[in-house]
Amino acid sequence: VQTIQIRLDTDLVSKLKTKADAANKTPSEIVAEILRTQLK
């Protein structure tokens, strides 16, 4: 696994944390899932 650094605005971070909490996952896991879906 490789770590990358991305910049997100406050609104995106808030949405990401909310989605992660609801799914009982980390924000990083949610970002990875979104990227997998988008980069097919």
Q: Give the integer Cα–Cα distance in Å for 7 and 5.
A: 7
What are the tens digits of pLDDT across the range 1-40? 999 999 999 999 999 999 999 999 999 999 999 999 999 8
Domain boundaries, the chain: 8-40
Would the pTM count as exceeding 0.95? Answer: no
* Measured CA distances, 27 to 7, 14, 15, 17 (Å): 13, 10, 10, 6
Could you tell me which residues come within 8 angstroms of residue 31 by beta carbon, excluding any fewer than 6 positions away?
Answer: 6, 16
Q: Give the integer Cα–Cα distance in Å for 23 and 19.
A: 6
